[in-house]
Copies of this chain bind each other. A is one copy, B any other.
């Protein structure tokens, strides 16, 4: 820490969260200089420096000029942001803040290093970290063909049936088909947005976003109320790639944004997959280029995708259930699991009442149990997966 910054007592978690809420409103997502600053300093110290004009030393690897150019912009914006107000308004809309170190923080994002999100704004019934324990990104063109929409829907539906969470970008076309297929398949789906999670952009997806909030998660680096812009879409794509071990491009034209997500996936060492299509279709040109020039794996169905993402030697899909031993569950999760009936499914409220948990707490634990392979979503609630009795049961 530099001599120019005042030493503070260790900030509280609430102070850190408020500071990151403020930073998410004042600084562009993915800014690597802020990312580097936050690697060596509490967020509250950075935030205070922006608000008070106190000096900030450039972080390791960055010049004073790089920081200076940004500071002016950041300070101007920070003066207009009241973190407590942003947080309380978000809370009123059912939007929560998730920051590094929180139980819900998806730690796979840490591979983004300096470009790790400063904070995530999350809305929805599911726990983001749990949802992404077994997840795959499915992306593609907005202007999709009937073929692409069919493949995205079918693939995501089957992935969901096998307990995989589908992550996508909430856009028209392939993204929308991926989310809808996943919802119909009965699993959580995660929409990573380039605007506030309250913004309903694109407008035609308002109803879809409501369903995702009910059975999955909407997530964004932008605070509630933020409008989307072109740069935000590109920066957002790195999150889609980083949240999962693999990205499938279902359909992409010559200049599709999906190619950008694919590049992020490859750069992060994730498995890059592409769905082939007719060579006569302009909407498959991008996929074929990924196959030809970027060593993308050719996948034609959910089974191919699961095989690519499963450890070598794992059971083929259908048989395969990654299950955490019941003895490794914490007491609360175990109690909830025991409260579920042997047959049939129950809603969250019933499961909560039977286990003595609040509905919110029950829902979080159900997500965890699903990720651990003990329960799954059914059409009307949640059910045990056969053979999932606890050792105490």
Interface residues, chain A, with chain B CB atoms under 8 Å away: 147, 150-151, 275-280, 284-285, 288, 291-292, 297-301, 304
Contact = CB atoms under 8 A, between A and B. Distances in A.
A301 B279 contact: yes
Nearest to A293: B298
Contacts of A284: 276
Contacts of A275: 279
B276 A147 contact: no
A350 to B, nearest CB: 41
Contact of A278 (B277, B288, B298): B277
A5 B126 CA distance: 84
Which label, helix, strand, loop or mixed, suits the secondary structure of the A interface? mixed
Contacts of A151: 279-280
Contact of A299 (B150, B292, B297, B304): B292
Nearest to A285: B300
22 contacts: A147-B278, A150-B280, A151-B279, A151-B280, A276-B276, A276-B277, A276-B278, A276-B284, A276-B288, A276-B291, A276-B298, A277-B277, A277-B278, A277-B279, A279-B300, A279-B301, A288-B298, A288-B300, A291-B298, A292-B297, A292-B300, A298-B298
Nearest to A273: B292
A298 B277 CA distance: 11
Contacts of A301: 279
Nearest to A250: B279
A290 to B, nearest CB: 9
Nearest to A147: B278
B304 A292 contact: yes
Name the residue among A275, A276, A304 with the largest chain B CB count within 10 angstroms: A276
A275 B277 CA distance: 10
Contacts of A297: 292
